[in-house]
Amino acid sequence: HHQTPRPHIVILSTAGMGHVIPLTELAKQLVLLHNFSITFIIPPFGSPSTAMISVLDDLPPENINYTFLRPVNLDDQPKDARVETLIALTVSRSLPYLREEFKIITATKRVVALIVDLFATDALDVAKEFDVSPYIVFPSSAMSLLLFFDIPNLHESYSGEFRDLPEPLQLPGCAPCPGPELLYAIQDKKNDAYTWILHHSKRYNLADGILLNSFIDLEQGAMRALMKEEPGKPPVYPVGPLIQRHLTNRVDESGCLKWLDKQPRGSVLFVSFGSGGTLSYEQLIELAYGLEMSGQRFLWVVRGPNATAKGTYLSHSSNDPFDFLPDGYLDRTKGSGLLVHSWAPQIQILSHGSTGGFLSHCGWNSTLESIVYGVPMIAWPLFAEQKMNAIMLVEDVRVALRPRANENGFIGREEIAWVVRILIEGEEGKSLGNKMRELKEAAATVLRENGSSTKSLFDVAQKWKNNNKTI
Ligand code: UDP
């Protein structure tokens, strides 16, 4: 008498933090709650950051292995190739290595599913070859998934650039989205990034199902539209919010948690643009003055401006992001502001009682984290699908304020100071905070034993377990 081996799942994540974090959380749940074993595979994209390695090393070693595939050559790509292109190419050129892994894994394990990231649908072919059920995990909103389903139609029906759409795009159950606010990667049809997105969006129907990192209460209208069964549309399982769990040990190298401990309840605005967001030099300066002028407390993760903004400043021998700030800024804001270099323990900051608002680039993980901890937001979207996330948060759910940009997309210091003041101490800020706390409660409920996201994951896990094939 011997134990039947755990059914095995292969997860293929692309190499961004915004992907690795939710996908490792999914892996943990599948191991701990549903008794699968997992191989977590990443086609590498440059060398992994220390933050990424620490997330991966934090995986429970029992029943989860992670592995980086061999690097692929992208030397034929132009210098200005977009990140979507590079990621999609990395995946498609990694398929031979993925096949090798699959050969090794399937020799000893009963693999029941391959779950791939949103730009990795080429890997679904490998699932088919090994007779394994193909799934996609979509680490963003229901609204964005609706857009993905619609891209092949939009491509056929509108020959111009989407930024010139005469009317905002009305995705079912969503707030209208003006053309220029749609996914950044589809804004230029001549760019390879567009071709890749179109390619992947056409392949979504090859999946047996799509796991979505959102939850019903957050996007009710969009969810209803997604749940409608239509020919060629795989079933969608809302399993979110999948976010990094609260770390019990306080890693506080920058001292920001200690600083937060000393601030009044709900008084601090947390300012961060995710793992890679940068502003132009001029916009960075304007934000600095805006925060100062608001008179509110703030904790700002500062990153240097991007290269195109101010070449001369970047050839400066130092790459300390604080060097770009106005003269005397650190001294002047010492009493009310804390500035941190490049990276901060975001989960601990958002869950801290002193944090009263989050000025965010609206990356999907940051958005979910703000919701899980009930922190109202200032939406400052930069790239990817962040403008769509901002529309959802501002127009639809009403938990965020969005500062107005001028016709060049530039946001002035008065505007910044004004929204910060409203969010932290205004009446409107209070009502956004109340709404955010309702969502926080809903986010906790969907993950409880009988919650909708728990049930969705259970349903799909049952499907995989019932895929009974002998080794
Ligand atoms: N993050 C963090 N500290 C930082 C910046 C980011 O812990 O200083 C984490 C953040 O909590 C989130 C992820 O990195 O889980 C960023 O993902 P998101 O989707 O918000 O944005 P992206 O980095 O993909 O643009």
pLDDT one-digit tens code per residue, 426-456: 999 999 999 999 999 999 999 999 999 999 9
Residue 188 known to be catalytic: no
Residue nearest to atom 13 of ligand 1 (CA): 18
49-52's contacts with Cβ under 8 Å and 24+ in sequence apart are 49/17, 49/275, 51/17, 51/275, 51/343, 52/15, 52/17, 52/20
pLDDT at 232: 84
pLDDT at 310: 36
**Candidate from 229-233, 312-316, 370-374, 457-461 with smallest mean pLDDT:** 312-316
Residue length of the chain:
471
What is the position in ligand 1's atom list of the atom closest to the CA of 343?
8
Cross-strand partners of 114: 10, 134
Q: Candidates 275, 303, 362: which one to mutate for ligand 1, based on the most atoms within 8 Å of Cβ?
A: 275
Q: Determine whether the shortest distance from the Cβ of 301 to ligand 1 is under 6 A.
A: yes
pLDDT one-digit tens code per residue, 288-345: 999 999 999 999 999 999 865 434 444 444 578 898 999 999 999 998 999 998 789 9
Cα 130 versus chain centre, distance: 30
Please list, in sequence order, all residues whose beta carbon lies within 8 angstroms of the beta carbon of residue 274, skipping any fewer than 6 positions away. 18, 360, 361, 363, 365, 366
Alpha carbon distance 113, 126 (integer Å): 11
For residue 21, the CA-to-ligand 1 centroid distance in Å is 9
Q: Determine whether the shortest distance from the Cβ of 365 to ligand 1 is under 6 A.
A: yes
**Nearest 5°: phi and psi at 261?**
-55, -30
For residue 48, the CA-to-ligand 1 centroid distance in Å is 15
**CB of 356 within 8 A of CB of 111?**
no
**Measured on CA atoms in the order 146, 151, 152, 158, is the torsion positive or negative?**
positive
**CB of 121 within 8 A of CB of 366?**
no
> Quick one: tokens of 148?
């993905």
Average pLDDT over residues 212-234: 95
> Quick one: tokens of 398?
């009403």
Q: Determine whether the shortest distance from the Cβ of 158 to ligand 1 is under 6 A.
A: no
Cα 6 versus chain centre, distance: 30
> Quick one: tokens of 336?
């009310």
Maximum average pLDDT range among 39-53, 239-253, 364-378: 364-378
Residue 469 has pLDDT above 80, yes or no: no
pLDDT at 5: 81
Q: Determine whether the shortest distance from the Cβ of 244 to ligand 1 is under 6 A.
A: yes
Residue 123 has pLDDT above 80, yes or no: yes
For residue 275, the CA-to-ligand 1 centroid distance in Å is 5
Amino acid sitting at position 202: K
Residue 118 has pLDDT above 60, yes or no: yes
Given pLDDT bands bounded at 50, 70 and 90, which one contains residue 468?
low
Residue 199 known to be catalytic: no
Longest CA–CA span in the chain (Å) reads: 74
pLDDT more than 90, % of the chain:
85
For residue 396, the CA-to-ligand 1 centroid distance in Å is 23
Count CB neighbours of 352 within 10 A: 21
Helix (H) or strand (E) holding 248: none
Cross-strand partners of 169: 177
Q: Candidates 346, 359, 387, 393: which one to mutate for ligand 1, based on the most atoms within 8 Å of Cβ?
A: 346
**CB of 143 within 8 A of CB of 163?**
no
CA distances from 296 to 35, 262, 381, 422 (A): 48, 15, 22, 10
pLDDT at 154: 97
What is the position in ligand 1's atom list of the atom closest to the CA of 346?
7
pLDDT at 309: 40
Residue nearest to atom 24 of ligand 1 (CA): 18
**CB of 344 within 8 A of CB of 301?**
yes
Q: Determine whether the shortest distance from the Cβ of 17 to ligand 1 is under 6 A.
A: yes
Residue nearest to atom 15 of ligand 1 (CA): 365
Q: Determine whether the shortest distance from the Cβ of 16 to ligand 1 is under 6 A.
A: yes
ipTM score: 0.99
pLDDT at 253: 82
> Quick one: tokens of 146?
């609706």
Given pLDDT bands bounded at 50, 70 and 90, which one contains residue 276?
confident
Closest CA to 39 of 136, 109, 93, 90: 109
Given pLDDT bands bounded at 50, 70 and 90, which one contains residue 424?
very high
**CB of 290 within 8 A of CB of 279?**
no
Q: Determine whether the shortest distance from the Cβ of 275 to ligand 1 is under 6 A.
A: yes
For residue 18, the CA-to-ligand 1 centroid distance in Å is 6
Q: Determine whether the shortest distance from the Cβ of 272 to ligand 1 is under 6 A.
A: yes
Average pLDDT over residues 268-273: 98
Answer with the residue of higher pLDDT: 333 or 470.
333
For residue 277, the CA-to-ligand 1 centroid distance in Å is 9
For residue 329, the CA-to-ligand 1 centroid distance in Å is 26
Q: Candidates 13, 17, 340: which one to mutate for ligand 1, based on the most atoms within 8 Å of Cβ?
A: 17
Q: Say which DSSP state 6 is in.
A: P
Q: Alpha helices, DSSP H only, in 316-466?
A: 329-332, 346-350, 364-372, 386-391, 413-425, 427-446, 452-466
Q: Say which DSSP state 373 is in.
A: T
pLDDT at 320: 85
Cα 62 versus chain centre, distance: 27
For residue 365, the CA-to-ligand 1 centroid distance in Å is 6
Average pLDDT in the chain? 93
Q: Determine whether the shortest distance from the Cβ of 357 to ligand 1 is under 6 A.
A: no
Given pLDDT bands bounded at 50, 70 and 90, which one contains residue 254?
confident
pLDDT one-digit tens code per residue, 178-214: 999 999 999 999 999 999 999 999 999 999 999 999 9
What is the position in ligand 1's atom list of the atom closest to the CA of 21?
15
CA distances from 256 to 109, 230, 320, 333, 372 (A): 45, 49, 18, 15, 20
**CB of 212 within 8 A of CB of 142?**
yes
Whether this prediction's pTM lies above 0.90 is answered by yes
**Candidate from 56-60, 142-146, 157-161, 221-225 with smallest mean pLDDT:** 56-60
Alpha carbon distance 306, 313 (integer Å): 10
CA distances from 236 to 146, 205, 222 (A): 11, 11, 12
With b for 16 or more beta-carbon neighbours within 10 A and e for fewer, the 316-334 pattern comes to eeeeebeebbeeebeeebe
- The active-site residue, picked from 117, 122, 192, 208, is 117
pLDDT at 46: 87
What is the position in ligand 1's atom list of the atom closest to the CA of 342?
8
What is the position in ligand 1's atom list of the atom closest to the CA of 275?
23
- The active-site residue, picked from 1, 8, 19, 246, is 19
Q: Determine whether the shortest distance from the Cβ of 52 to ligand 1 is under 6 A.
A: no
Average pLDDT over residues 372-398: 97
Average pLDDT over residues 104-127: 97
Residue 470 has pLDDT above 50, yes or no: no
